[in-house]
Structure 1
Amino acid sequence: MKKMRILRCLLGGIFLLSLLACSSPTVTQYAAEKPTLDLSEYFNGTLDAYGMFTDRSGAVQKRFTVLIKANWRMVDGKKTGTLDESFEYADGSKQKRIWTIVETSPGKYIGTADDVVGQALGDSAGNALNWTYTLALPVEGTIYHVQFNDWMYLITPKVMLNKAKMSKFGFDLGEVTLSFYKR
Protein backbone atom coordinates (compact mmCIF):
# COMPACT_ATOMS: atom_id res chain seq x y z
CA MET A 1 0.00 0.00 0.00
CA LYS A 2 2.76 2.43 0.96
CA LYS A 3 4.74 1.52 -2.17
CA MET A 4 1.68 2.23 -4.37
CA ARG A 5 1.23 5.64 -2.76
CA ILE A 6 4.89 6.48 -3.34
CA LEU A 7 4.63 5.27 -6.94
CA ARG A 8 1.52 7.43 -7.52
CA CYS A 9 3.26 10.47 -6.05
CA LEU A 10 6.29 9.90 -8.26
CA LEU A 11 4.14 9.45 -11.38
CA GLY A 12 2.11 12.54 -10.49
CA GLY A 13 5.30 14.55 -10.03
CA ILE A 14 6.68 13.36 -13.36
CA PHE A 15 3.38 14.28 -15.04
CA LEU A 16 3.42 17.79 -13.56
CA LEU A 17 7.05 18.33 -14.57
CA SER A 18 6.29 17.20 -18.11
CA LEU A 19 3.39 19.68 -18.30
CA LEU A 20 5.65 22.50 -17.12
CA ALA A 21 8.31 21.52 -19.66
CA CYS A 22 5.72 21.85 -22.45
CA SER A 23 4.52 25.31 -21.45
CA SER A 24 5.16 28.06 -23.96
CA PRO A 25 6.69 31.44 -23.27
CA THR A 26 4.44 34.49 -23.22
CA VAL A 27 5.36 37.94 -24.52
CA THR A 28 4.92 39.39 -21.03
CA GLN A 29 8.13 37.56 -20.07
CA TYR A 30 9.97 39.99 -22.37
CA ALA A 31 8.27 43.23 -21.23
CA ALA A 32 11.45 44.61 -19.65
CA GLU A 33 13.75 43.64 -22.54
CA LYS A 34 15.40 46.37 -24.61
CA PRO A 35 15.41 47.67 -27.25
CA THR A 36 11.64 47.94 -27.23
CA LEU A 37 10.00 46.68 -30.42
CA ASP A 38 7.63 49.15 -32.06
CA LEU A 39 6.33 47.33 -35.14
CA SER A 40 5.41 50.53 -36.98
CA GLU A 41 8.90 51.89 -36.39
CA TYR A 42 10.91 48.76 -37.19
CA PHE A 43 8.84 47.62 -40.20
CA ASN A 44 8.98 50.99 -41.93
CA GLY A 45 11.10 51.52 -45.03
CA THR A 46 13.20 48.82 -46.67
CA LEU A 47 14.39 45.69 -44.91
CA ASP A 48 16.36 42.64 -46.01
CA ALA A 49 15.77 39.21 -44.52
CA TYR A 50 17.70 35.94 -44.80
CA GLY A 51 16.16 32.63 -43.86
CA MET A 52 15.85 28.89 -44.07
CA PHE A 53 13.28 26.18 -43.46
CA THR A 54 14.43 23.11 -41.56
CA ASP A 55 12.35 19.94 -41.35
CA ARG A 56 11.61 18.31 -38.00
CA SER A 57 14.91 16.41 -38.12
CA GLY A 58 16.78 19.73 -38.44
CA ALA A 59 17.84 19.28 -42.09
CA VAL A 60 17.76 22.46 -44.17
CA GLN A 61 15.12 22.07 -46.90
CA LYS A 62 14.91 25.62 -48.29
CA ARG A 63 17.03 28.76 -48.13
CA PHE A 64 15.71 32.16 -49.13
CA THR A 65 16.08 35.93 -49.04
CA VAL A 66 13.29 38.48 -48.65
CA LEU A 67 13.13 42.11 -49.72
CA ILE A 68 10.53 43.92 -47.61
CA LYS A 69 9.12 47.35 -48.41
CA ALA A 70 7.00 48.57 -45.52
CA ASN A 71 5.01 51.65 -44.60
CA TRP A 72 2.39 52.69 -42.05
CA ARG A 73 -0.50 55.14 -42.08
CA MET A 74 -3.52 55.96 -39.96
CA VAL A 75 -6.76 54.30 -41.13
CA ASP A 76 -9.93 54.87 -39.09
CA GLY A 77 -7.77 56.08 -36.20
CA LYS A 78 -5.62 52.91 -36.13
CA LYS A 79 -2.01 52.40 -37.19
CA THR A 80 -2.12 50.27 -40.32
CA GLY A 81 0.96 48.82 -41.98
CA THR A 82 1.64 47.30 -45.36
CA LEU A 83 4.56 44.87 -45.66
CA ASP A 84 5.30 44.01 -49.28
CA GLU A 85 7.52 40.90 -49.14
CA SER A 86 9.38 39.55 -52.19
CA PHE A 87 10.86 36.09 -51.54
CA GLU A 88 13.63 34.55 -53.63
CA TYR A 89 14.54 30.93 -52.94
CA ALA A 90 17.91 29.27 -53.51
CA ASP A 91 16.38 27.17 -56.31
CA GLY A 92 15.48 30.40 -58.19
CA SER A 93 11.73 30.32 -57.47
CA LYS A 94 10.02 33.50 -56.29
CA GLN A 95 7.03 34.31 -54.14
CA LYS A 96 5.18 37.46 -53.09
CA ARG A 97 3.23 38.14 -49.89
CA ILE A 98 1.65 41.45 -48.95
CA TRP A 99 0.65 41.80 -45.31
CA THR A 100 -1.81 44.34 -43.97
CA ILE A 101 -1.26 44.78 -40.23
CA VAL A 102 -3.52 46.77 -37.92
CA GLU A 103 -2.58 47.73 -34.37
CA THR A 104 -5.89 47.12 -32.57
CA SER A 105 -4.56 48.35 -29.20
CA PRO A 106 -1.06 48.92 -27.81
CA GLY A 107 0.94 45.74 -28.42
CA LYS A 108 -1.97 43.91 -30.10
CA TYR A 109 -2.10 43.31 -33.86
CA ILE A 110 -4.25 41.67 -36.51
CA GLY A 111 -2.75 40.79 -39.88
CA THR A 112 -4.04 39.55 -43.21
CA ALA A 113 -2.43 38.37 -46.44
CA ASP A 114 -3.74 36.50 -49.49
CA ASP A 115 -2.23 33.18 -48.36
CA VAL A 116 -3.14 33.57 -44.68
CA VAL A 117 -6.33 31.74 -43.68
CA GLY A 118 -8.41 34.14 -41.60
CA GLN A 119 -6.37 36.54 -39.51
CA ALA A 120 -2.94 36.45 -37.95
CA LEU A 121 -2.88 37.51 -34.31
CA GLY A 122 0.08 39.34 -32.81
CA ASP A 123 1.00 40.19 -29.24
CA SER A 124 4.03 42.33 -28.42
CA ALA A 125 5.88 43.36 -25.25
CA GLY A 126 9.42 44.59 -24.69
CA ASN A 127 11.62 43.37 -27.54
CA ALA A 128 9.36 40.45 -28.55
CA LEU A 129 6.41 39.75 -30.83
CA ASN A 130 4.46 36.49 -30.94
CA TRP A 131 2.58 36.10 -34.21
CA THR A 132 0.23 33.13 -34.80
CA TYR A 133 -1.59 32.28 -38.00
CA THR A 134 -2.60 29.59 -40.48
CA LEU A 135 -0.89 29.67 -43.86
CA ALA A 136 -2.21 28.11 -47.07
CA LEU A 137 1.04 26.45 -48.15
CA PRO A 138 1.37 25.08 -51.69
CA VAL A 139 3.36 21.84 -51.92
CA GLU A 140 3.61 20.01 -55.24
CA GLY A 141 0.22 21.20 -56.50
CA THR A 142 -1.65 20.71 -53.22
CA ILE A 143 -2.53 23.44 -50.70
CA TYR A 144 -2.00 22.53 -47.04
CA HIS A 145 -3.23 24.69 -44.15
CA VAL A 146 -0.38 24.78 -41.66
CA GLN A 147 -0.12 26.64 -38.38
CA PHE A 148 2.71 29.05 -37.66
CA ASN A 149 3.84 30.18 -34.23
CA ASP A 150 6.27 33.02 -34.93
CA TRP A 151 8.52 34.57 -32.31
CA MET A 152 10.39 37.74 -33.29
CA TYR A 153 13.02 39.38 -31.09
CA LEU A 154 14.50 42.82 -31.69
CA ILE A 155 18.23 42.45 -31.05
CA THR A 156 19.40 45.96 -32.03
CA PRO A 157 17.48 48.84 -33.61
CA LYS A 158 18.43 47.37 -37.03
CA VAL A 159 18.47 43.59 -36.42
CA MET A 160 15.58 41.29 -35.55
CA LEU A 161 15.64 37.48 -35.31
CA ASN A 162 12.62 35.32 -36.04
CA LYS A 163 11.99 31.69 -35.17
CA ALA A 164 8.74 30.14 -36.37
CA LYS A 165 7.44 26.66 -35.61
CA MET A 166 5.28 25.12 -38.31
CA SER A 167 2.76 22.41 -37.44
CA LYS A 168 -0.25 20.53 -38.78
CA PHE A 169 -2.81 18.87 -36.49
CA GLY A 170 -0.45 19.65 -33.57
CA PHE A 171 2.47 17.75 -35.15
CA ASP A 172 5.74 19.56 -35.72
CA LEU A 173 6.62 19.95 -39.41
CA GLY A 174 9.72 22.08 -38.98
CA GLU A 175 11.01 25.58 -38.31
CA VAL A 176 11.65 28.75 -40.22
CA THR A 177 14.62 30.79 -39.00
CA LEU A 178 14.92 34.33 -40.29
CA SER A 179 17.11 37.36 -39.66
CA PHE A 180 15.88 40.83 -40.58
CA TYR A 181 18.12 43.80 -41.27
CA LYS A 182 16.66 47.30 -41.47
CA ARG A 183 18.50 49.46 -43.98
Structure 2
Amino acid sequence: MMFRSVPRLRSIAVRTFTGLLTAALLSSCASTMDISRYNNERPVLQVENYFNGKLDAWGMFQDRSGDIVKRFTVEMDCQWNGDTGTLNEYFTYSDGTKQTRIWTLKKTGDGKLTGTAADVVGEAQGEVAGNTLHLRYVLALPVDGRIINVNMDDVMVLMDQQVMLNRAVMSKFGVQLGTVTLSFRKRQG
Protein backbone atom coordinates (compact mmCIF):
# COMPACT_ATOMS: atom_id res chain seq x y z
CA MET A 1 0.00 0.00 0.00
CA MET A 2 2.85 2.35 0.78
CA PHE A 3 4.33 1.85 -2.70
CA ARG A 4 1.06 2.80 -4.43
CA SER A 5 1.13 6.26 -2.84
CA VAL A 6 4.75 7.01 -3.77
CA PRO A 7 3.91 8.32 -7.30
CA ARG A 8 1.15 10.47 -5.82
CA LEU A 9 3.50 11.86 -3.17
CA ARG A 10 6.16 12.48 -5.80
CA SER A 11 3.59 14.34 -7.95
CA ILE A 12 2.55 16.49 -4.98
CA ALA A 13 6.19 17.22 -4.13
CA VAL A 14 6.99 18.20 -7.73
CA ARG A 15 3.93 20.48 -7.94
CA THR A 16 4.77 22.06 -4.59
CA PHE A 17 8.40 22.61 -5.57
CA THR A 18 7.38 24.04 -8.96
CA GLY A 19 4.89 26.38 -7.31
CA LEU A 20 7.43 27.60 -4.75
CA LEU A 21 10.10 28.08 -7.42
CA THR A 22 7.70 30.01 -9.65
CA ALA A 23 6.62 32.23 -6.74
CA ALA A 24 10.25 32.87 -5.77
CA LEU A 25 11.22 33.77 -9.34
CA LEU A 26 8.24 36.06 -9.83
CA SER A 27 8.77 37.82 -6.53
CA SER A 28 12.48 38.30 -7.21
CA CYS A 29 11.74 39.83 -10.62
CA ALA A 30 9.60 42.56 -9.12
CA SER A 31 11.45 45.34 -7.39
CA THR A 32 10.12 45.95 -3.92
CA MET A 33 12.03 49.14 -3.22
CA ASP A 34 9.85 51.88 -1.77
CA ILE A 35 11.70 54.96 -2.94
CA SER A 36 9.43 57.28 -0.95
CA ARG A 37 11.35 56.29 2.19
CA TYR A 38 14.13 58.62 0.95
CA ASN A 39 11.89 61.71 0.50
CA ASN A 40 13.55 63.55 3.42
CA GLU A 41 17.16 62.63 2.59
CA ARG A 42 19.46 65.53 1.67
CA PRO A 43 20.93 66.92 -0.47
CA VAL A 44 17.94 66.70 -2.81
CA LEU A 45 18.85 65.11 -6.15
CA GLN A 46 17.83 67.17 -9.16
CA VAL A 47 18.77 64.89 -12.02
CA GLU A 48 18.89 67.75 -14.54
CA ASN A 49 21.41 69.60 -12.34
CA TYR A 50 23.67 66.74 -11.27
CA PHE A 51 23.82 65.08 -14.69
CA ASN A 52 24.62 68.33 -16.47
CA GLY A 53 28.17 69.12 -17.55
CA LYS A 54 31.15 66.80 -17.19
CA LEU A 55 31.42 63.93 -14.72
CA ASP A 56 33.93 61.16 -14.03
CA ALA A 57 33.11 57.73 -12.61
CA TRP A 58 35.02 54.72 -11.37
CA GLY A 59 33.40 51.31 -11.20
CA MET A 60 33.63 47.56 -11.00
CA PHE A 61 31.52 44.52 -11.82
CA GLN A 62 31.42 41.71 -9.26
CA ASP A 63 29.96 38.30 -10.03
CA ARG A 64 27.48 36.70 -7.65
CA SER A 65 30.29 35.19 -5.56
CA GLY A 66 31.77 38.68 -5.03
CA ASP A 67 34.80 38.24 -7.28
CA ILE A 68 35.78 41.41 -9.14
CA VAL A 69 35.47 40.53 -12.82
CA LYS A 70 35.98 43.91 -14.45
CA ARG A 71 37.03 47.44 -13.48
CA PHE A 72 36.32 50.54 -15.53
CA THR A 73 36.31 54.32 -15.68
CA VAL A 74 33.67 56.52 -17.30
CA GLU A 75 33.89 60.05 -18.66
CA MET A 76 30.49 61.67 -19.05
CA ASP A 77 29.36 64.73 -20.96
CA CYS A 78 25.75 65.60 -20.13
CA GLN A 79 23.37 68.29 -21.36
CA TRP A 80 19.73 69.12 -20.71
CA ASN A 81 17.20 70.89 -22.87
CA GLY A 82 14.01 71.42 -20.89
CA ASP A 83 12.87 68.07 -19.49
CA THR A 84 15.16 66.00 -21.76
CA GLY A 85 18.77 65.16 -21.01
CA THR A 86 21.48 63.53 -23.11
CA LEU A 87 24.16 61.66 -21.17
CA ASN A 88 27.17 60.68 -23.27
CA GLU A 89 29.12 57.96 -21.43
CA TYR A 90 32.61 56.87 -22.54
CA PHE A 91 33.77 53.67 -20.80
CA THR A 92 37.37 52.44 -20.59
CA TYR A 93 37.72 48.94 -19.13
CA SER A 94 40.73 47.55 -17.29
CA ASP A 95 41.48 45.24 -20.24
CA GLY A 96 41.79 48.28 -22.55
CA THR A 97 38.45 47.89 -24.34
CA LYS A 98 36.24 50.92 -24.82
CA GLN A 99 32.49 51.42 -25.05
CA THR A 100 30.13 54.34 -25.58
CA ARG A 101 26.56 54.59 -24.29
CA ILE A 102 24.31 57.57 -24.96
CA TRP A 103 21.33 57.88 -22.64
CA THR A 104 18.32 60.07 -23.37
CA LEU A 105 16.45 60.82 -20.14
CA LYS A 106 13.02 62.44 -20.03
CA LYS A 107 11.43 63.81 -16.89
CA THR A 108 7.78 62.77 -16.94
CA GLY A 109 6.65 64.58 -13.78
CA ASP A 110 6.02 63.60 -10.18
CA GLY A 111 9.67 62.58 -9.64
CA LYS A 112 9.49 60.04 -12.47
CA LEU A 113 11.61 59.73 -15.59
CA THR A 114 12.18 57.42 -18.52
CA GLY A 115 15.38 56.61 -20.35
CA THR A 116 16.53 55.06 -23.59
CA ALA A 117 19.91 53.99 -24.98
CA ALA A 118 20.97 51.85 -27.93
CA ASP A 119 21.73 48.82 -25.71
CA VAL A 120 18.67 49.24 -23.47
CA VAL A 121 15.72 47.06 -24.44
CA GLY A 122 12.56 49.14 -24.36
CA GLU A 123 12.47 52.01 -21.92
CA ALA A 124 14.12 52.45 -18.53
CA GLN A 125 11.79 53.50 -15.71
CA GLY A 126 13.12 55.81 -13.02
CA GLU A 127 11.93 57.53 -9.90
CA VAL A 128 13.59 60.17 -7.72
CA ALA A 129 12.91 60.78 -4.03
CA GLY A 130 15.11 62.97 -1.81
CA ASN A 131 18.73 62.16 -2.66
CA THR A 132 17.98 58.84 -4.41
CA LEU A 133 17.31 57.73 -7.98
CA HIS A 134 15.94 54.22 -8.62
CA LEU A 135 16.25 53.12 -12.24
CA ARG A 136 15.11 49.78 -13.69
CA TYR A 137 15.80 48.58 -17.23
CA VAL A 138 16.80 45.65 -19.44
CA LEU A 139 20.33 45.83 -20.82
CA ALA A 140 21.38 43.95 -23.98
CA LEU A 141 24.76 42.71 -22.78
CA PRO A 142 27.35 41.21 -25.17
CA VAL A 143 28.73 37.97 -23.69
CA ASP A 144 31.02 35.60 -25.62
CA GLY A 145 29.86 36.75 -29.05
CA ARG A 146 26.13 36.78 -28.29
CA ILE A 147 23.67 39.20 -26.70
CA ILE A 148 21.98 38.39 -23.39
CA ASN A 149 19.22 40.59 -22.01
CA VAL A 150 19.69 41.17 -18.28
CA ASN A 151 17.59 43.08 -15.77
CA MET A 152 19.28 46.04 -14.12
CA ASP A 153 18.05 47.44 -10.81
CA ASP A 154 20.02 50.62 -10.25
CA VAL A 155 20.07 52.74 -7.09
CA MET A 156 21.99 56.04 -7.14
CA VAL A 157 22.48 58.14 -4.01
CA LEU A 158 23.69 61.74 -4.04
CA MET A 159 26.23 62.13 -1.22
CA ASP A 160 26.98 65.84 -1.76
CA GLN A 161 26.88 68.23 -4.72
CA GLN A 162 29.84 66.48 -6.41
CA VAL A 163 29.72 62.80 -5.35
CA MET A 164 27.12 60.16 -6.16
CA LEU A 165 27.33 56.45 -5.32
CA ASN A 166 25.64 53.83 -7.49
CA ARG A 167 24.89 50.14 -6.98
CA ALA A 168 23.17 48.12 -9.68
CA VAL A 169 22.04 44.52 -9.29
CA MET A 170 22.15 42.51 -12.50
CA SER A 171 19.80 39.51 -12.80
CA LYS A 172 18.30 37.09 -15.29
CA PHE A 173 15.11 35.07 -14.63
CA GLY A 174 15.18 36.37 -11.06
CA VAL A 175 18.67 34.99 -10.40
CA GLN A 176 21.29 37.54 -9.39
CA LEU A 177 24.27 37.48 -11.76
CA GLY A 178 26.31 40.17 -10.06
CA THR A 179 26.54 43.81 -9.05
CA VAL A 180 27.97 46.97 -10.56
CA THR A 181 29.33 49.58 -8.15
CA LEU A 182 30.15 53.12 -9.29
CA SER A 183 31.34 56.35 -7.74
CA PHE A 184 30.56 59.52 -9.72
CA ARG A 185 32.29 62.88 -9.30
CA LYS A 186 30.97 66.03 -10.96
CA ARG A 187 33.76 68.19 -12.34
CA GLN A 188 34.04 71.72 -11.02
CA GLY A 189 33.63 74.67 -13.35
Scaled by the length of structure 2, the TM-score of the pair is 0.82
CA distance in 2, matches of 1:143, 1:86: 20
Runs (5+) with no aligned partner, structure 1: 1-18
2:179 equivalent to 1:171: no
| Aligned partner of residue 40 in structure 1, secondary structure | helix
1:49 maps to what in 2? 57
Deviations 1:87-110 (A, max 9, x none): 000000000000000001031000
Q: CA RMSD in A?
A: 1.3
| Aligned partner of residue 114 in structure 1, secondary structure | coil
Deviations 1:111-151 (A, max 9, x none): 00000000000001000010000000001101000000000
1:182 maps to what in 2? 186
Deviation, structure 1 residue 25: 2.9
1:36 maps to what in 2? 44
Deviation, structure 1 residue 27: 1.1
| Aligned partner of residue 160 in structure 1, secondary structure | strand
1:11 maps to what in 2? none
2:63 equivalent to 1:59: no
Which structure has the larger Rg? Answer: 2
Equivalences for 1:23-172 in 2 at 5 Å?
A: 24-74=32-82, 79-172=83-176
Deviations 1:13-42 (A, max 9, x none): xxxxxx9xx884311010000000000000
CA distance in 1, matches of 2:33, 2:170: 16
Runs (5+) with no aligned partner, structure 2: 1-23
Aligned amino acid, residue 155 of structure 1: M
Give the % identical residues.
Answer: 55
CA distance in 2, matches of 1:28, 1:120: 19
Scaled by the length of structure 1, the TM-score of the pair is 0.85
CA distance in 1, matches of 2:99, 2:111: 29
Task: Please identify which structure carries the higher strand content.
Answer: 1
CA distance in 2, matches of 1:25, 1:170: 15
Count of matched residue positions in the alignment of Structure 1 and Structure 2: 159
Aligned amino acid, residue 124 of structure 1: V
Aligned amino acid, residue 163 of structure 1: R
